[in-house]
Structure 1
Amino acid sequence: MAGAGADGERRIGVAMDYSDSAKKALEWTVDNLLRHGDTLVVVHVLHHGGEEAKHTLWAKSGSPLIPLSEFREPEVMKNYGVKADAEVLDMIDTAARQKQLKVVAKLYWGDAREKLCDGVEELKIDSLVMGSRGLGPIQRILMGSVTNYVLSHAPCPVTVVKGK
């Protein structure tokens, strides 16, 4: 399983887009992977949109690391163009308390496939968990699967949690 960083702390990433499959991946991570004292890194990739000019500064590097205390503030997240999700926050809060986790979030803008892989490398994530949207084979061919790309290119173990 995931190795530990130089300081002995494991950094477990969860790809989060607030879909049902991403919530399942978070739930699975909390139940099966996170251990006492780990760092949970919530990695969120937003598509470029109307807010683009505001985030030009972070287009390459992504947002600064966002601690849980700010991540749970709807007003702070609104500034990043993210709507707070009570279910996700509740899961993270509970896990953070029970397992004494350090929790940080990182936002990227652009292509989810590339940005998730960049994030794994930049944030020194030991293991990444992501949900699978369950596209059919034709949709996957036409749209390209974020999951397939990340499985092939991420420099760490990747666990894919299926929705059902």
Structure 2
Amino acid sequence: MEIEIEGGSVTRILMGVSESTIKGHPHASISSRGAFDWTIQKIVRHNTSAFKLLFLHVQVPDEDGFDDMDSIYASPEDFKNLMNRDRAKGLHLLEYFVTRCHEIGVSCEAWIKRGDAKEVICHEVKRVQPDLLVVGSRGLGPFQRVFVGTVSEFCVKHAECPVITIKRSADEAPQDPVDD
């Protein structure tokens, strides 16, 4: 349901959000939290009824499907539990952003897709047609970008809408800059 305001409908902002890659840190990534906070402080501000935030979490399937485990599960039920665990992790991540939106009164939607994050985000931009895409960026140097690749750079080049990338602040960077 679109809320009508003076001069038109709400501004829809799609945000690609990810989980932290830091071991034992099952929360939103530093970059995702920073991009969300920046969007609320600098774009939404006090105009909560003028915006709708759309949260997309892309789960990247592990090549072998075993998610860096030391052992392979032995029954079909074990694999089902593993898939449910991955889904629950994504839901927990989205719950963080949805809860924050409800606390401040911003309308939102959230969903999970599977695949290559940069391609899925660009596909969802084409499908959903938001007014703006906001993605976090780890701010990796050129050497690290070669090996890690960056979702934000790909989206800037290929998304069919304006894109804002929000770098994490230097004081939030973990010891290993590849972590997020």
Q: Considering only aligned residues, what root-mean-square deviation do their CA atoms show, in Å?
A: 2.8
Matched residue of 1:160: which SS?
strand
Match of 1:94 in 2: 103
Aligned length: 133
Residue 57 (structure 2) pairs with residue 47 (structure 1): no
Match of 1:30 among 40, 47, 53: 40
**How far apart are residue 31 of structure 1 and its match?**
1.2
Match of 1:150 among 147, 151, 155: 155
Query: TM-score, normalized by length of structure 2?
Result: 0.64
> Runs in 1 of length 4+ with deviation above 4 angstroms?
77-81
**How far apart are residue 102 of structure 1 and its match?**
2.2
Match of 1:13 in 2: 14
**How far apart are residue 143 of structure 1 and its match?**
2.5
In the aligned structure 2, how far is the partner of 1:115 from the partner of 1:78? 18
Matched residue of 1:39: which SS?
strand
5+ long unaligned stretches in structure 1: 55-74
In the aligned structure 2, how far is the partner of 1:41 from the partner of 1:9? 12
Deviations 1:111-163 (A, max 9, x none): 11111111111111110111111222111122321111000001111111111
Seen in structure 2, the aligned counterparts of structure 1 residues 113 and 79 have a Cα distance that, compared at 3 Å, is closer
Q: Please say if residues 15 and 43 of structure 1, whose CA atoms lie closer than 8 Å, have aligned partners that are also in contact.
A: yes
**How far apart are residue 33 of structure 1 and its match?**
1.5
**How far apart are residue 79 of structure 1 and its match?**
4.3
Query: TM-score, normalized by length of structure 1?
Result: 0.70
In the aligned structure 1, how far is the partner of 2:142 from the partner of 2:120? 23
Kindly name which structure, 1 or 2, has the bigger radius of gyration based on alpha carbons.
2
Seen in structure 2, the aligned counterparts of structure 1 residues 119 and 80 have a Cα distance that, compared at 3 Å, is farther
Seen in structure 2, the aligned counterparts of structure 1 residues 44 and 21 have a Cα distance that, compared at 3 Å, is same
Identity rate, percent: 29
